Structure 1
């Protein structure tokens, strides 16, 4: 991401990476002036980006194999949902070029998290 608030090197530690996704999303949202029509999308993005990280932590602490797989599925679902809110915010707002680029990077990160989590789920259930 740009402006010194980026996920510099993507950590191999997925717990840290999901945390950074939630953090950078919050920092990005705080710096913007959103149209009132976008406020629901902003709130939903705040929830879903944090839920990616929270459910990954729950996966780590899961009590059973089924619980762990369920938490991974929720984390993946929330990453995908974050991508939807990012896309809506991008398509419904005129952002300055730097902010638009940062939003695209957040969308790319949400897409990468979906793919990573999907691969982990496939490996667990096979």
Structure 2
């Protein structure tokens, strides 16, 4: 989710932009009733990533922060799953899905790094 060719480095903003991109993508797809649940799950998990980061940032302790970032990481992994499943089973905009997969994989790596660094800091 680049802005003017530059990546957004604030994870809270980046996940917000990602969630918006998923919502706008889903709005463009003609969804058959039988596949509706795939897209509902995708939107639910994609929006959950940023929501948990936002909640974690306002946590009262490092443990709260860590807990919500771990939940966000799980939601990011789930989002990757739904995107891959939609890409491999439905005739949709493959290029856009690949962009979304690439972005959520980058977000996943960032979240994993944040979690590992905070766990290390907690054990010091």
TM-score, normalised relative to structure 1: 0.89
State the shift of 1:7 in Å.
3.4
Which residues of structure 1 form unaligned runs of 5+? 1-5
Name the residue aligned to 1:70. Answer: 67
Which residues of structure 2 form unaligned runs of 5+? none
Task: Write out per-residue CA displacement over residues 27-64 of structure 1, whole angstroms, 9 at most, x where no aligned residue.
Answer: 00000112323211100011111100100101110111
Is the CA contact (8 Å cut-off) linking 1:7 and 1:20 kept in structure 2?
Answer: no
> Are 1:90 and 2:87 matched, yes or no?
yes
SS in 2 for 1:10: coil
TM-align CA RMSD: 1.1
Structure 1 runs (4+) deviating above 3 angstroms are none
> Are 1:105 and 2:99 matched, yes or no?
yes
Give the alignment of 1:3-82 within 5 angstroms: 7-8=2-3, 9-82=6-79
Task: Write out per-residue CA displacement over residues 1-37 of structure 1, whole angstroms, 9 at most, x where no aligned residue.
Answer: xxxxx53332111111000000000000000112323
TM-score, normalised relative to structure 2: 0.91
Aligned residue pair count: 118
SS in 2 for 1:88: helix
Is the CA contact (8 Å cut-off) linking 1:35 and 1:93 kept in structure 2?
Answer: no
SS in 2 for 1:73: helix
